[in-house]
Structure 1
């Protein structure tokens, strides 16, 4: 099966694995999507930090704190919930941009013990389908309680929704 064929059936594939390192639970995450747009279009959407809350679920706000060349520092606030519990998550993140292919995100401070993520934009073209493979991967370790029984499923569902929203926005902006 070719990669773009699987994306036609399920535009975003997400995986979250709960692992324990040094006695602390953390999540290793990966999500892959395909968009019918060039990497430059995907780049414009992903680096339009102030507008991310307009289309990324649970992302409440993003504020650019500083920019020095390809290094950007942002503060983001999001809301995470499970059943009747809700948790506001504040993060200060340092982003290193390598246009138009990669974005590395590292935790500076906030409501996570660890948050190291990576976006990769890869041009693809095979059997008539051209566009960009959008890959999000990383390691996340919350400071707050995540139910062990449902944690992986919650993380995977949230990851999938987030990357689906990004993919949809890239496609939407590519039409205009």
Structure 2
């Protein structure tokens, strides 16, 4: 196996067999995405991207939570409320749809598995439910970043609409994240 190949154990651990044959696309900068229904009004998405940085470099930047406003353009605030084994975050995002602007806020519990994974669970907020996992694996001379999100908004929007929005917006957000992490203009 070459340094850039994704092993079966890597994809089994992440439950992502759909990326195995697309590793060259990842290395070339493609954002791989898979959307699924989550609830009648929610969606689930898994996005993968390659970063030409060591995992320790990526980890250091990702755990700087106030900096997340640079990664996700709709995120207007990301504040650490408490530190410790379980951190607490407060985040605010604003999104405009046609003539309507929605603002959401969320209080998250954050558990870090040093250098490997960040788990986000909603405590309260303007979602019925929200959970995310950010996973980091070594891949060649860089890092495979996988971001899995499951969310149900508190307004009844059909699941397919949520999935389409995630499918459209998350790749752009991930490219922005890579640009900031890698300091590329």
Range of TM-score over shorter length: 0.7 to 0.9
Q: Measured at CA, do residues 117 and 19 of structure 1 come closer, stay the same or move farther in structure 2, by a change above 3 Å?
A: closer
Q: Find 2:46's aligned residue among 9, 14, 30.
A: 30
Root mean square deviation, CA, Å:
2.0
Match of 2:144 in 1: 133
Secondary structure of the corresponding residue to residue 175 of structure 2: helix
The alpha-carbon deviation at position 32 of structure 1 amounts to: 0.3
Match of 1:77 in 2: 92
Which segments of structure 1 move beyond 6 Å, counting only runs of 4 or more?
Answer: none
- Could you list the runs of 5+ residues in structure 1 that have no partner in the other structure? none
The alpha-carbon deviation at position 98 of structure 1 amounts to: 1.0
Q: Find 1:159's aligned residue among 167, 170, 178.
A: 170
Equivalent positions of 1:88-167 (< 5 A) are 88-125=103-140, 130-146=141-157, 150-167=161-178
2-structure distance, mates of 1:156, 1:37: 25
The alpha-carbon deviation at position 17 of structure 1 amounts to: 2.0
Q: Measured at CA, do residues 164 and 75 of structure 1 come closer, stay the same or move farther in structure 2, by a change above 3 Å?
A: same
The alpha-carbon deviation at position 14 of structure 1 amounts to: 2.1
Q: Measured at CA, do residues 149 and 28 of structure 1 come closer, stay the same or move farther in structure 2, by a change above 3 Å?
A: closer
Secondary structure of the corresponding residue to residue 150 of structure 1: helix
Match of 2:72 in 1: 56
Contact 1:49 1:63 in 2 (8 A): yes
Alignment partner of 1:6 is 2:25 = yes
Contact 2:42 2:158 in 1 (8 A): no
Alignment partner of 1:168 is 2:154 = no
50-59 or 101-110: bigger deviation: 50-59
Q: What TM-score does the superposition give when structure 2 sets the normalisation length?
A: 0.80
Secondary structure of the corresponding residue to residue 123 of structure 2: strand
Alignment partner of 1:65 is 2:81 = yes
Match of 1:45 in 2: 61
1-structure distance, mates of 2:66, 2:159: 33
- Could you list the runs of 5+ residues in structure 2 that have no partner in the other structure? 1-19
Contact 1:45 1:169 in 2 (8 A): no
The alpha-carbon deviation at position 19 of structure 1 amounts to: 4.1
Number of aligned residue pairs:
165
Q: Measured at CA, do residues 29 and 40 of structure 1 come closer, stay the same or move farther in structure 2, by a change above 3 Å?
A: same
